[in-house]
Structure 1
Amino acid sequence: MTPATTAPIGLRPDLSFLLTDFEQMVLGASRTVAVSVDGLVLCTSDTVDSREQAEYLAAICSGMASLVIGLAQQLGAAAAADIGVRLSIGFVMIAGPFGNAYLMTLAQPQADMGAVNRDLLKLGESVRAALSPEQRR
């Protein structure tokens, strides 16, 4: 895939290289975004098509994670999201929160879902401090 946008996207575009590097190391991962818990784009990989796509993905990621965390709390489980959604084009993986942020990526159908999820969790833990936006007052 070629990058469709050249303008920086998100509140922390200086960290976009982390997501692009993740995709280069994890076979089949693309369109990776880091999202604040309240749905703002923190940064994106180079494979995200546009600012508009990044904002849609961020809103959806935040909403899905919020639903899963709410369900977990109602059932007495830890408030964490580790979501896999199967689509016709692959699997969407959402993980977090890592501080005040979530990570989301699209994995191709032939990708090893376990490996993608494991590496997404490792990425989140390793960049937790950098991706955690300050709490807004």
Structure 2
Amino acid sequence: MTPNSLSWLMNDFRDRTEGVEHVLLFSRDGLKLHWDDGLNPTAGAPAATRDRVEYLAAIGSGIAGLAAEASDKLDCGGSPDYITLLFPGRQLLLVNAGHGAVLTVLAAADAEPGLVGSEMVRLIDRLSEHLGIAPRQAGAPA
């Protein structure tokens, strides 16, 4: 499967989930796998805009790694299934998407995190049909 060949699925999720601005599936080590078309680089755009998908993958990978390390050091019993960061202007939500993959969503500040999170789990189920990602299990490392 080629990188971002499932952009149609990501676009569908973004368009039907209220408050979602961008969605990205990446490997635990930060390799971007699939993302919505809004993250695609545009010709002539500033470098920061062209590299949004790379930045989001790197940020998500760092956050997931830090959370896994914190869990290990604090004896929390495994990596978190969900991570939500609330910023004044946006939310960043990360969900364990199966062995070695993480789904990340950038949402509006007023998006309902519970609704977005439940839709993320549904998207992971749909993605697993196309990618062969093992279904996520509570407490499994991201």
Cα deviation 1:33-92 (Å, max 9, x = unaligned)? 111111011011022152511011101101100111122233232323411111222211
**CA 1:126 to 1:49, structure 2 compared with 1: closer, same or farther past 3 Å?**
closer
What TM-score, normalized to structure 2?
Answer: 0.76
- Provide the residue aligned with 2:52 in structure 1: 53
**Distance in 2 of aligned mates of 1:73 and 1:125:** 27
- Residue 6 of structure 2 aligns to a residue whose secondary structure is helix
Give the counterpart letter for 1:64 in structure 2.
I
Map 1:23-102 onto structure 2 (within 5 A): 23-48=14-39, 50=41, 51-74=50-73, 75-102=75-102
Q: How many residues align?
A: 122
Aligned-residue sequence identity (percent) comes to 26
Q: Is the 8 A contact 1:65 1:81 kept in 2?
A: no
Q: Point out where structure 2 has 5 or more consecutive residues left out of the alignment.
A: 42-49, 134-142
Q: CA RMSD in A?
A: 1.9
Q: Secondary structure at the match of 1:127?
A: helix
* Unaligned ranges ≥5, structure 1: 1-10, 133-137
Question: How far, CA to CA, are the matches of 2:27 and 2:107 in structure 1?
Answer: 21
SS at match of 1:14: coil
The TM-score with structure 1 as length reference comes to 0.79
- The 1:91/1:56 distance shift into structure 2, 3 A limit, reads same
Q: Contact 1:33–1:103 (CA<8 Å) still a contact in 2?
A: yes
Does structure 2 conserve the Cα–Cα contact (< 8 Å) formed by 1:33 and 1:43?
yes
